[in-house]
Amino acid sequence: MRTDPPAPQPDTSPEEKHPPAPQPETASGQKRRLPSIPPILLVGGIVLGLILIGLVVFLALRPVLFPPHPAGIPLEITRVSLTSPLATPPPPIVEVGDTQITLPVPVTLEVGDHSFPVQPTGPGEGAWADPSAYPGFAIWAHGTVVNYVLGLEATEDNRAVVAGLRSGDPLSLHLSNGTRLIFHFVEQTEVSPDDATLFDQSHPGLTLVLLGEEETERTVAFADFDRAEEPTLPTG
């Protein structure tokens, strides 16, 4: 019995089942292969792009981060002496209800035939300014406006002026608004340099202190308030 040979089977290899995708062809019909970019060039391009972006941001924010400075103007240095009016504190202010009133300040002290311009105690000088820095001046303890407290340098002449006061002798204080306050001498005593009762403001008057260095006691003259003489206004 003759057996026929088996019929040939078609080739079913994977290559024929999934044929490769057609490649783009050039004008001459040949396939074109895309060039590959080296990794170092790719990284370098990214870094360069980031640098350019940062530079643009910096230039945009530069006026804000570093504002331009105006051209400098040479400044003249002014040396201020201790007697300069720049050290004078502002006048005292009191409140009456909702109103603030600026009080006049003493400008001249008269004791007998002697007249002393008044220098207020400046900021940071404590209760008293250094009297030797203001020769010939009366030092006013700034803020004492009921009982005016003033000091004189304890020179021989000033000691003689205070020692020559007698009961009832007048002392006067000229204020910045033109008013003249009249006081009469009551008594003289010695107190310790740290006696704070001299600055008591419960009684109108004038307290005159002799100020010296390394002293254990200070001579103080007390005067009571007598009257106030207002400035005469011009007529016509």
C-alpha 58/C-alpha 45 separation (Å) is: 20
The first and second tokens of residue 62, run together, are 């530069």
- Contact, 103 vs 94, CB < 8 A? yes
Mean per-residue pLDDT of the chain: 77
Per-residue pLDDT reduced to its tens digit, 88-144: 556 666 555 677 778 899 999 999 999 999 999 876 667 788 888 889 999 999 989
pTM of the predicted model, to two decimals?
A: 0.60
* Segment 18-24 mean pLDDT: 56
Domains of the chain: 97-229 (2.40.260.10)
% of the chain at pLDDT higher than 90: 44
Per-residue pLDDT reduced to its tens digit, 25-65: 555 555 556 566 677 767 667 767 777 776 766 666 565 55
The first and second tokens of residue 43, run together, are 């990284």
Query: Which residue has better confidence, 214 or 27?
Result: 214
